[in-house]
Structure 1
Amino acid sequence: MMHDGARRVLALAIMQAFFATSGFSLLRPSIAAKLRYELDAPAHFVTGFGSLLLLGRTLGSLIGGMYIVNVTRCFESIAQPLSALAISLIIYCYSLLQSPTIILALAFFQGFAAGLMWPLLQSIVAVSAGSKRAAYLTLYTSLGGLGLVNGYVLYTMIGEDVGFKIVVASALYGITSLVAFVGLIWGYRSSCIPREQRKARIAFRGTVSLVFFSLMYGLLAGIGAEYSYLVIWEVVGLEKNLLGVIYAVADLTAAGIGLLIARLAKRYSEESLILTGLTVMFFASLISFIDRFLAIVGLGIYIAMVSALLGVARSYSVKLGGEQNVSGALALSNAASGIGVSLMEAIAGFIYVELQSLSPEGPLMLYSTMSLLLIAVVMVCRKSYKSF
C-alpha cells in the first residue's frame, strides 16, 4: 500500500505532468504550422524550434540539478511553479509574434524553464517513493503521459485557427503552474531530501555510466519524432493526416504498458525490465519489414515502448549513479538524454538519406540497430554497476 503522503504527492505530480504534456503536444504541431504556413519560414526553422527547445532544456536541467542539491532542502521551492508560469507566458508570446527568429530565440528560454521544472518534479516523486522509486516514476510518466494524447485530440478538435491553439497551449501551462502552487502548499513540502543525500556526490564511475546510458537512451528516443514521421509517410506510405492517430494510439498503449511495468517493478530489477522492453522493440522493428500493416504495428509498438520505459530508465539512471544523490542523478539523466535527443535530431535526416539509398525500406534498419545498441549499453552498465 502507498503511504497517504506519497500518494498525494504522486497524484499532484501526475496532474501537473498531464497538463504540461497536453500543452506541449498541442504546441509542437501548432507552432510548426505557424512557422511554415503563416510566417513562411524555411524548413530548418521548423526543425530548429525543437532543437533549441532541447538545448535550453539540457542547460536548464544542469542548473536545476545544482539548485536542487545545493539550495533547496525540501520541495517548497517556488522555482517549479514559476518555471511553468514562465513557459505559459512564452507560449502566449508565440501567438502574437510575427518573427520566426524571435520565436526560435524564445524556444531556447522555454526549454530552459522546462529544464528547471521537470527535474524538480521527478525528484519530488522519486524522493517520496523511497524503495518504490521505479514503480512511482513509471506511474508518473505513464499516467502523466496521457496528456500527450489529450494534446493530439485537442489539436484535431479545436479547428484551423493556429493562433488559438497556441493560446490554449499557453493556458494548459498556466493550469500546470496553478497545480504546482497547490503542490507547494499542500503536498510537496513533505518530500525532503535526506540529510545524507544533500551532501553526497555521485562517484566518477557512476557518473560515467549514468551519463552514457542516458545519452544513449536519448539517441534511441530521438528517432521517435521527425525521423519516424518521414518513415511513416515515405517508407510505409501512410497518409499524412493519419499520423496523429498513430501517435495517439501509441501513447495510449504506452500508458497501459507503463502501468504493467509499475506493477512488475515491485518484483523485477530495472535492468530486467529495460532489457525486456528493448527486446520487444527489436522484434517489433523486425516485423516492420514484412508488409505495410505490420510496419505500422511495429513502429507503433516501438514508439510506445520508448515512452513506457522512460520512468524505469530514469530510476535505472539513479541506480547507476550509486543512489547517494537521487536529485542530482535525475538532473544529470535529464541533461544527458536531452543531449542525446538533440544530437539524433541533428543527424537523423542524414542517416535517413543514407539508409534510403541502400533500399526503399533502408530507414527501418535504424530502429533495430538502436535497440540492439542500447541492449549492449545496458549489459555494459550492469557489469560496471556490479563491479562497484
Structure 2
Amino acid sequence: MDSVLLAAFAAVMLATVAFGSTRLALGEVLGIEVGSLFYAGLALSAFFAGRGFSATVSGFIYERRVTLARRLPGLALFGIAATVYAQGLTKDPVLLTILAGLQGILAGLTWPLVQTSVALHSRGSTLILSVYFALGSIGISLGRALYPTLASQGVSRVFMTASMLYMAAGAVLLAGFQSLTLGSTRQEASMGAWRETLALLLKARRALLVNLASGFSVGLNSQVLYPVLVDYKGVDRYTASYALAAGGLASIPSKLLVGALADATSLNRALLVTSISIAASLASLSIFDGIVAAAAAAAYLAFSSSVVPLARMTAAMEGKKLGAPATMVGVSNTLSNIGSMIAPVLAQPLVALPCGLVAYAVPILAAATTPRRKGRSVEEARPTWAVSGSSTGRGT
C-alpha cells in the first residue's frame, strides 16, 4: 500500500473523530441551547453549500496543477482547525452558520481530492474505497461516543479537541501526498477545454444523478437527528448520542458488505438494496418513539452512509474513463452537497408528518432505478483485484 493511501486512511480517521463530535456540539448549541432546529439545519446547509462550491472548483484546479493538489488539501485542514476553534468561542447562531459555511469551503478543497486519490491509487477497487469510508465511520462513531465525556467539561472543550485533531490530519496529508498522481488528460484551462469538460459531464449524467440523490438521502445526519430524537421522539441525550454512535459503527460492516456486493454483482443491485433499507429505517423512525426511534435512527445512519462509496466510485471511474477523474468527483461532491444542503432545512416540517421522513429515501430510490446508458460501462467492468493487470475496476 503506497503512501497516498496510508495518508488518506490516517487523515480521514483523525478528521472524522473531530467531525463526529462537533456535529453533536453544534446540535447541542443550536438545536437545544438556542432552541432552534431551523438554525441547526441552516448551519449544516451552509456547510454543504460551501463544500459544494469549492469541490467543483478544486477538481478543475487540481487536474491542471498537481503540485497544488499535493499541498493544498493539508493546508485546508489547518484552516478547518482554526475555524472549528472559533466555533467553540461563540454561541451566536448567525456567526456559527457563517463559520460552518467557511468550514465547508475548506472541506471541499480537501475531501473530494482525497476520495479521488483513493479510487485511483487503489486501481478502482470498490472494496478499498469502502474501507476508506468505513474508517471515516469509525472516526465519526468515536467522535460521537467521546462527545458526552468532552461536553461534560463544557461544549467549548469539544471544539478545542477537534481543532487539534484537524491539525494532525493536515500534517499527515502534507507528508503523504507528495507522491500523488491523478492521471488526468486535462492540461489547459482554455474556453474550449471548459466546453469539452461540460460535454463529458453530460455524458456521465447518471453518475451525477446518483451523487445528487445520495447527498439528499444522507443529508439527515446526526446534527439534525440528535435534536429530532431528543425533542420529538422522547429520547434522552445520552441514549441519543450513543445510538447515533452505534449507527456509525454499524455503517462499517454495511459499507464493506455493500462494496463487496457491488464488486460481485453490479452497482445497480447494491444501490437498490441500500435504497430499500434506507426507506425501511426512515419509516420506522417516523412511526415510533423512544428506544425504537433511536434504533431506527441508528439503522438509517448505517444504511445511508453505505451509499456514499458507491456514488463516489461511480464518479471516479466514469471520470477516469472520460479523462477527468478529479473533475468528475469534484462535481459529484458538489451535487451531493447540494442535496445535503437542501435536506436539513426540511427536517422540521417533515418530522411532524406521518412517515414524512421517508421523503429522504425517494431520490436515491429513483436514482437506483434509472436506466443505465446502453453498452458496456464502468459499472459492468470487473474489479481491479479480480482481473490481473487491469486498472479499470468496477465503477461504484
Q: Aligned pair in 2 of structure 1 residues 311, 385: CA closer, same or farther (>3 Å)?
A: farther
Pairing 1:378–2:368 present: yes
CA distance in 1, matches of 2:318, 2:330: 13
- AA in 2 matched with 1:9: V
| 1:175 alignment counterpart | 168
TM-score for the superposition, normalised by structure 2: 0.82
Preserved CA contact (<8 Å) 1:149 1:251 = yes
- AA in 1 matched with 2:315: S
- AA in 2 matched with 1:193: L
Q: Find the residue that maps to 1:77 and give its secondary structure.
A: helix
| 2:246 alignment counterpart | 249
Q: Find the residue that maps to 2:123 and give its secondary structure.
A: helix
Preserved CA contact (<8 Å) 1:58 1:115 = yes
| 2:276 alignment counterpart | 279
- AA in 2 matched with 1:135: L
| 2:350 alignment counterpart | 351
Q: How high is the sequence identity, in percent, across the aligned residues?
A: 21
Preserved CA contact (<8 Å) 2:37 2:227 = no
Of 315, 319, 322 in structure 2, the residue corresponding to residue 317 of structure 1 is 315
Write out per-residue CA displacement over residues 303-357 of structure 1, whole angstroms, 9 at most, x where no aligned residue.
211112211221123455573222111111111010101111123323334x2xx
Of 299, 315, 339 in structure 1, the residue corresponding to residue 297 of structure 2 is 299
| 1:113 alignment counterpart | 106
Of 136, 156, 161 in structure 1, the residue corresponding to residue 154 of structure 2 is 161
| 2:138 alignment counterpart | 146
Offset of 1:109 from its aligned partner? 1.5
CA distance in 2, matches of 1:385, 1:297: 41
CA distance in 1, matches of 2:241, 2:157: 19
Preserved CA contact (<8 Å) 2:49 2:341 = yes
- AA in 1 matched with 2:305: S
Instruction: Please list, as runs of the form range in 1=range in 2, the aligned pairs for 1:201-220 lying within 5 A after superposition.
Output: 201=197, 203-220=200-217
Write out per-residue CA displacement over residues 30-64 of structure 1, whole angstroms, 9 at most, x where no aligned residue.
244455788x5865444332222111111111111
| 1:266 alignment counterpart | 263
- AA in 1 matched with 2:57: I
Greater CA deviation, 224-233 or 146-155? 224-233
| 2:357 alignment counterpart | 366
CA distance in 2, matches of 1:35, 1:229: 11
- AA in 2 matched with 1:117: T
Q: Aligned pair in 2 of structure 1 residues 365, 136: CA closer, same or farther (>3 Å)?
A: same
- AA in 2 matched with 1:194: G
Offset of 1:121 from its aligned partner? 0.7
CA distance in 1, matches of 2:340, 2:242: 23
CA distance in 2, matches of 1:24, 1:385: 40
Write out per-residue CA displacement over residues 50-95 of structure 1, whole angstroms, 9 at most, x where no aligned residue.
222111111111111111222226x862101100001111222233
Preserved CA contact (<8 Å) 2:214 2:364 = yes
Preserved CA contact (<8 Å) 1:209 1:320 = no
Preserved CA contact (<8 Å) 1:61 1:331 = yes
What residue ranges of structure 2 are gaps of 5+ in the alignment?
Answer: 189-195, 378-396
Q: Aligned pair in 2 of structure 1 residues 319, 127: CA closer, same or farther (>3 Å)?
A: closer
Of 44, 53, 64 in structure 1, the residue corresponding to residue 47 of structure 2 is 53
Q: Aligned pair in 2 of structure 1 residues 91, 287: CA closer, same or farther (>3 Å)?
A: closer
Offset of 1:99 from its aligned partner? 5.0
- AA in 1 matched with 2:300: Y
User: Could you say what the CA RMSD is over the residues aligned between the two structures, in angstroms?
Assistant: 2.9
Residues paired across the two proteins, number: 366
Preserved CA contact (<8 Å) 1:215 1:338 = yes
Of 82, 87, 91 in structure 2, the residue corresponding to residue 94 of structure 1 is 87
Offset of 1:370 from its aligned partner? 4.1
Preserved CA contact (<8 Å) 1:19 1:172 = yes
Offset of 1:104 from its aligned partner? 2.9
TM-score for the superposition, normalised by structure 1: 0.83
| 2:384 alignment counterpart | none
Q: Aligned pair in 2 of structure 1 residues 372, 35: CA closer, same or farther (>3 Å)?
A: closer
CA distance in 1, matches of 2:23, 2:262: 32
- AA in 1 matched with 2:200: A
What residue ranges of structure 1 are gaps of 5+ in the alignment?
Answer: 356-361
Q: Aligned pair in 2 of structure 1 residues 95, 290: CA closer, same or farther (>3 Å)?
A: closer
Instruction: Please list, as runs of the form range in 1=range in 2, the aligned pairs for 1:56-135 lying within 5 A after superposition.
Output: 56-72=50-66, 77-97=70-90, 99-132=92-125, 134-135=126-127
- AA in 2 matched with 1:376: A
Preserved CA contact (<8 Å) 2:21 2:144 = yes
